[in-house]
Structure 1
C-alpha cells in the first residue's frame, strides 16, 4: 500500500469494550481527515491482526461509507482487547504493518489500555507515526478534566435509567426486589448515575469504603439487607439495589474464596484478560449476591423474592443520544486537528474538550509509568453530588441505632431484640 496523497495516510484502531458513539468518532475522523487531504484506513478488530503482521482486513474508508453510521451504535470496525505492548515481537509486527501501509497518523479509540497501546506505538515509532487517542468508556473513569465525561457514558446512563425505572415499576407491581449489577470496573460513576436518576432504594459503589477499608462480600450483602429491612419497616416490600461491578474486583479473588470456599465455582471461573484485569463478566456477581442475601434473610425469618439482573451489555452498543452524537463529532474533529498541528510532532496525546475548545493531554502526563494505565477517576464521595445521592437512599443510618423507637421498629421487622439487631448491623454505620 503506497502513499498516494500529498499529506499521508491515517489509520483508525478501536480497542476495549464497545461504547455508544464509536461510529461517531470513526465517521468524524474519516470525514475531517479526507477533507484535510489524507487517505483513511480502518483497522478491523483492534490490534488483533496487526500483532501477527496481518493487514488483509485493513480497508480504506470513504466519506460516503462512514457518514451513514454517524448516529448508529456499535463499531463498524469491531473492537478487541488485544495488547500489542505485552510482547516486543507483537509491537514490532504492529509497527512493521503500519510501515507497510504507509501510515503516518494513528487515531486510537478506547479506554486506558488502548491509550497505553497508542502511546507505545507513538513512542516506539520514533516520530514516524503521530498519534491521537480518543477516550472511550461507559464507566467514565478516565482522568479527564473535571466535569468532562468520557464519550458513551451519558448514553449508557440514559439507557440504564430507562431499564431501571421499568424494573422499579415491576418490583412495585409484584412486591419483589431487584439486585442490579452495573458495569464500572474501577469507578462507580455509572452505577451511581443510574441509581440516583432512577430513585433506586440503594446504590453501593467501591469508593464509599475508602482506600483503607477492605471490602468484604458479607458487608455488601448486609448493606442490601439493611435497606430491605428498613423498607419493610416503612411498609414497602419492594425496591431496587444497584451495585457497581467494581465491588467484585475490590473484594478480590482471595476475598471471594474466603467467603465462598469451593462454592465460588458455582458462580463462574476466575480469569484475567491480556491487560491483567479480572474478567468480571465470567463471575455471576448478581446471582452470588442474590443467593447470599436470600440465605441470610431466611435465617432472619424474612421472606423476600429477589431477582438479579446484570446491566451493561445492553448499554454498550446503543445508538448514541444527542449529547454523545455531538460530543463524538467534536472529538473526531479534534483528533485530526491535533494530528495536523505542529504539537503532534512533539508528543502523542489524548483528545479532550474543555469549554468548547480542544485540549490535547500528553500521554506522558496521563499514563502512570508504574502501572502502564491512566489513574482512574473515582467518584468523589466527599462531594455534594454524592452527599445528595446518599440522602435519598434507603440505608441503615446512625440515627436508626441511637433512637430507641426506630431501633425497636427495625428489630421487630425481623423478630430480633434491639440488642440483637444492633449486634448484627450497627457496624454498617461506623
Structure 2
C-alpha cells in the first residue's frame, strides 16, 4: 500500500486522562487521509532507545497504530504508548542505552543527533508530540533542527503557554472538587480544619478553580507566598462560622510561605529537566495550623485533616471535556499537517480552537495573573466580571499573543 507519508506520535511527562483519546483522534484522521501512523513508546525515551540499524529489533520502541488498536484504548485513561521524563538534550551517562555508550561519554549528553537519525530511520515525515512545557520544549528544539513538528499541549497544571486549555486539566479539577467534597464528611464530623495538597508547581490553576467552584474556603498558590498566621486566622474564622465547625484550604504543591526560601520537596533527586519531586507543603501547613490555631481560637487547639490528592486526580478515565478537546486537538494537528504547516502548537484561545507558533512554549511561564484573579488578602480567587471570560475563567493569557491565521 502506498502512503502519503508517515506520522509519528508520542506522549511525554506525567500521564493524564485524555492522552488516549488524542492518540485515537490523530490515528483515525491520519489513516483516513492516507498516512501511516507510528506510535513511539515511552516518549522521547523511545527514540533514545531506538537502534537505527538494519535488522535491529525495535518492537519495544515503536509500533504501527491501527484503528482497532487505538479504538480499544481511546476511551481509557493514561497512555497506552507509555511515557517517560527523558530529555535527550540532557541525558545522564547512567541513562544511556548500550548502543550509545561508545558514542557519548560525558556525564550529561546531548543525544539529539541520534534522535534525528532514529526519526529518519523510522521514516517519520511529521511528528506529533503530546506533552507539557518540558516535553514540548524539546519538541521546539527538534523543530529548530528541521523536524516537521505539530505539538499538542497536555498537563494537569494547565500551564503550557499559548493555550487556555491543556489536556488533563478538566479531569483534574473535576476530581479535586469531588474528592474535596468527599473529605468534608470527616472534617465536619471531627470539627477540624481540612488541608488538601493539589498539583501546581508554578501555576495555581488547580487550586483556584475548585475554590472558585465552592470546594474550599481558601487556597494558597505558587505565584503568591503566604503568611501562615494570616491563613490560620482566616481558616479559624471560617470554621467558627460554619454550622458543622470545619473549614477547607487547597494548597498548591509549589506554594511557599513568606518565611521559606523555596518549595517543599520529597527528595534531593532531580529528573532530566532539573525538577525535584514536589511534596510536603501540605504537611507543613497542617502542622503549623494546629500549632497556631490556639492564638485565634480562645486558646483552644484545632486538629487538622491532611490529605495529598496526588495521583488520584490523574488516574482513571477522562471526563467529558477531556474526551472532546483531545479529539479536536488531534484533528487540528492533522489540519496543519495537511496544509504542511509545521512548527505550531494546537490551542484553545478565547473559546476557539486555534494554533500558535511552537516557540511560545519556551518563551515564558504561564501562571495565574495575580492582580486580575487572586485576592492576596482573602487568599481566594477574585473576579470583576464573567463577561467574555473563557470557560475556565482565569486560564486565559494576555491577548497580545495572536493565534496564527489559517
TM-score bracket, normalised by the shorter chain, equals 0.7 to 0.9
| Counterpart selection for 1:172 from 188, 191, 198 | 188
In the other structure, the counterpart of 1:135 is: 153
| 1:224 to 2:222 alignment | no
Tell me, in whole angstroms, the C-alpha distance in 1 between the residues paired with 2:127 and 2:77. 22
Tell me, in whole angstroms, the C-alpha distance in 2 between the residues paired with 1:251 and 1:85. 36
| 1:26 to 2:15 alignment | no
Note if contact 1:28-1:332 (Cα within 8 Å) is conserved in structure 2: yes
1:42 shift after superposition:
0.9
- Cα deviation, 1:76-115, whole Å, max 9, x if unaligned, reads 1111111122266421121111111111110000011111
Tell me, in whole angstroms, the C-alpha distance in 2 between the residues paired with 1:98 and 1:6. 17
Q: Secondary structure at the match of 1:350?
A: strand
- Give the number of the structure whose alpha-carbon radius of gyration is greater: 1
In the other structure, the counterpart of 1:324 is: 322
- Cα deviation, 1:135-187, whole Å, max 9, x if unaligned, reads 00111122235xx3212111111111011111123212221221111101111
Tell me, in whole angstroms, the C-alpha distance in 2 between the residues paired with 1:221 and 1:5. 65
| Counterpart selection for 1:83 from 84, 87, 96 | 87
Q: Secondary structure at the match of 2:341?
A: helix
Tell me, in whole angstroms, the C-alpha distance in 1 between the residues paired with 2:262 and 2:333. 42
| 1:104 to 2:99 alignment | no
In the other structure, the counterpart of 1:419 is: none
| Counterpart selection for 1:306 from 304, 307, 325 | 304
| Counterpart selection for 2:46 from 38, 49, 65 | 49
Note if contact 1:182-1:191 (Cα within 8 Å) is conserved in structure 2: yes
1:311 shift after superposition:
1.7
Specify whether residues 24 and 388 from structure 1 end up closer, same or farther in structure 2 by C-alpha distance, changes over 3 A only.
Answer: farther
Note if contact 2:196-2:249 (Cα within 8 Å) is conserved in structure 1: yes
Specify whether residues 185 and 381 from structure 1 end up closer, same or farther in structure 2 by C-alpha distance, changes over 3 A only.
Answer: same
Unaligned runs of 5+ in 1: 210-214, 257-263, 368-372, 394-430
| 1:375 to 2:345 alignment | no
In the other structure, the counterpart of 1:396 is: none
Note if contact 1:352-1:359 (Cα within 8 Å) is conserved in structure 2: yes
In the other structure, the counterpart of 2:141 is: 120
Pick the structure with more helix per residue.
1
1:45 shift after superposition:
0.9
Note if contact 1:294-1:304 (Cα within 8 Å) is conserved in structure 2: yes
| 1:297 to 2:293 alignment | yes
1:391 shift after superposition:
9.0
Runs of 4+ with deviation above 4 angstroms: 248-252, 354-358, 385-393
Note if contact 1:132-1:338 (Cα within 8 Å) is conserved in structure 2: yes
1:196 shift after superposition:
2.1
Unaligned runs of 5+ in 2: 52-57, 92-108, 382-406
Q: Secondary structure at the match of 1:41?
A: strand
Q: Secondary structure at the match of 1:198?
A: coil
- TM-score, scaled to structure 1: 0.75
Note if contact 2:200-2:253 (Cα within 8 Å) is conserved in structure 1: yes
Specify whether residues 363 and 235 from structure 1 end up closer, same or farther in structure 2 by C-alpha distance, changes over 3 A only.
Answer: closer
Specify whether residues 255 and 38 from structure 1 end up closer, same or farther in structure 2 by C-alpha distance, changes over 3 A only.
Answer: closer
In the other structure, the counterpart of 1:70 is: 74
| 1:188 to 2:204 alignment | yes
Question: What is the RMSD computed on CA atoms of the aligned residues?
Answer: 2.7
1:354 shift after superposition:
4.4
Specify whether residues 175 and 330 from structure 1 end up closer, same or farther in structure 2 by C-alpha distance, changes over 3 A only.
Answer: same
- Name the count of aligned residue pairs: 354
